[in-house]
């Protein structure tokens, strides 16, 4: 099903907000890539939609966290605190909730 123009616009705005909050929260430079994705989870116990945020602080160092709600519902307080930056370094496995 295709999203309406208003829905696409809302999703883009929500993604930009989450990226901006992530950049500010983790003191990331403007050239640091940040990915925000809303994904469906079909595993038992997972929410139907969740938001995955990833950013790279080195070519081989990806940080990642999930928020168990739609990107449009994410608020700044849903992001992990700054001091968890090293704790959210990812090994690349996105298969689990």
Query: Mean of the pLDDT values across residues 25-48?
Result: 91
Strand partners for 64: 54
Q: Tell me the CA distances in angstroms from 80 to 2, 10, 59, 69, one per residue in order.
A: 32, 23, 22, 14
How confident is the model at residue 97, as a pLDDT?
45
How confident is the model at residue 93, as a pLDDT?
57
* 3 or 58, which is more confident: 58
Closest CA relative to residue 37, chosen from 91, 83, 94, 77:
94
Give the model confidence (pLDDT) of 14-27 as tens digits.
999 999 999 999 99
Give the model confidence (pLDDT) of 46-91 as tens digits.
888 999 999 999 888 999 999 999 999 999 999 999 999 999 998 7
């Amino acid at each position: 099903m295709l999203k309406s123009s208003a829905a696409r616009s809302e999703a883009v705005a929500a993604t930009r907000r989450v990226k901006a909050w992530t950049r500010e929260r983790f003191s990331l430079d403007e050239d640091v890539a940040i990915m925000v994705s809303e994904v469906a989870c079909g595993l038992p116990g997972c929410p139907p939609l969740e938001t995955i945020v990833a950013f790279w602080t080195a070519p081989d160092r990806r940080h990642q966290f999930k928020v168990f709600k739609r990107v449009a519902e994410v608020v700044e307080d849903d992001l992990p605190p700054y001091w968890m930056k090293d704790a959210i370094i990812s090994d690349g496995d996105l298969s689990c909730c």
